[in-house]
Chains A and B, each alone.
Chain A
Amino acid sequence: MANEAGAKMAGPAPLPGDPPITPELVAEHGLSPEEYERIVGILGREPTYTELGVFSALWSEHCGYKNSKPLLKLLPTQAPWVLQGPGENAGVIDIGDGYAIAFKIESHNHPSAVEPYQGAATGVGGILRDVFTMGARPIAVLDSLRFGSLDNARVRYLFAGVVKGVGDYGNCVGIPNLGGEVYFDEAYEGNPLVNAMAIGIMKKEELIRAQASGPGNPIIAVGARTGRDGIHGATFASAELGEESEDSRPQVQVGDPFTEKLLLEASLELIRSGHIVGIQDMGAAGLASSSSEMAARSGTGVDIDTALVPTREEGMTPYEILLSESQERMLVVAKAGHEDEVRKILEKWELEAAVIGRVTDDGMYRVRHNGVVVCEIPGKQLVDCPTYVREGRESEEIARLRSWDPSELDPSLEAGDPNDVALRLLSSPTIASKRWVYEQYDTTVRTNTVVGPGGDAGVLRIRGTKRGIAATVDCNGRYCYLNPRRGAMIAVAEAARNLVCVGARPRAVTNNLNFGNPHKPEVYYQLREAVLGMAEACRKFETPVTGGNVSLYNENPNGAIYPTPTIGMVGVLEDVSKHLVAGFREPGDAIILLGRNTDELGGSEYLKVIHGKVAGDAPAVDLDAEKALQEAMLELADAKLIRSAHDCAEGGLAVCLAESAVHDSERPLGVDVALDDELPWPALFFGEAQGRIVVSCAPERVEEVLAVARRHGVPAKRIGAVGPVGGRFVVTTKAGPKIDLAIADVADAYYGAIPRIMDESAATVEIDVEHAAMPR
Chain B
Amino acid sequence: MRIAIVTFPGSNCDYDCYRAVKDVLGVEATYVWHRETDLGGADVVILPGGFSYGDYLRAGAIARFSPIMGAIQRFAAEGGLVLGICNGFQVLCEAGLLPGALIRNRSLKFRSMDVYLRVENASTPFTTRYREGQRLRIPIAHGEGSYIADEATLDRLEAERRVVFRYVDAKGATTDAANPNGSARNIAGIVNEGGNVLGMMPHPERAVEALLGSTDGLPLFESVIDHLAGAAR
Contacts and interface: CB of A to CB of B under 8 A. Distances in A.
16 contacts: A167-B110, A168-B110, A172-B12, A258-B51, A258-B53, A262-B9, A349-B9, A442-B141, A445-B12, A445-B141, A446-B15, A450-B212, A577-B211, A773-B56, A775-B143, A776-B144
Nearest to B20: A447
B227 interface: no
B206 interface: yes
A174 interface: yes
Given A172-B12, A173-B12, A448-B212, 16 more contacts: A167-B110, A172-B51, A257-B54, A262-B9, A262-B10, A438-B112, A439-B111, A440-B109, A441-B112, A442-B110, A444-B112, A445-B12, A445-B16, A461-B212, A774-B56, A776-B104
> Which are the 5 A-B pairs with shortest beta-carbon distances?
A174-B12, A258-B54, A776-B143, A442-B141, A447-B16
B84 to A, nearest CB: 17
A463 interface: yes
A576 B211 contact: yes
Interface of B: 9-10, 12-13, 15-16, 19-20, 49-51, 53-56, 59, 104, 108-113, 139, 141, 143-144, 170, 203, 205-206, 208-209, 211-212
Contacts of A259: 54
Interface in A301-354: 349-350
Contacts of B109: 164, 439-440
Interface of A: 164, 167-168, 171-174, 256-259, 261-262, 349-350, 438-450, 461, 463, 576-577, 666, 762, 766, 773-776
Contacts of B9: 258, 261-262, 349-350
B16 A446 contact: yes
Contact of A258 (B16, B19, B56, B203): B56
Name which of B50, B54, B108, B112 has the most chain A CB atoms within 10 A of its CB.
B112
A126 B209 CA distance: 32
B14 to A, nearest CB: 9
Contacts of B203: 444
A173 B108 CA distance: 20
Given A174-B50, A577-B211, A444 B143 contact: no
A444 B139 contact: yes
Given A258-B10, A258-B54, A261-B10, A766 B108 contact: yes
Given A442-B110, A447-B209, A463-B19, A775 B54 contact: yes
B139 to A, nearest CB: 5
A440 B206 CA distance: 17
B54 A172 contact: yes
Nearest to B139: A444
Nearest to B209: A447
Contacts of A576: 211
Nearest to B11: A174
B205 A776 contact: no
A175 to B, nearest CB: 8
B112 A443 contact: yes
Nearest to A576: B211
A231 B188 CA distance: 46
Nearest to B144: A776
B148 to A, nearest CB: 15
Nearest to B143: A776
Contacts of B112: 171, 438-444
A581 B100 CA distance: 41
Nearest to B24: A447
A666 B16 contact: no
Contacts of B139: 444
A256 B143 contact: no
Contacts of A775: 51, 54-56, 143
A444 B113 CA distance: 9
A256 B54 contact: yes
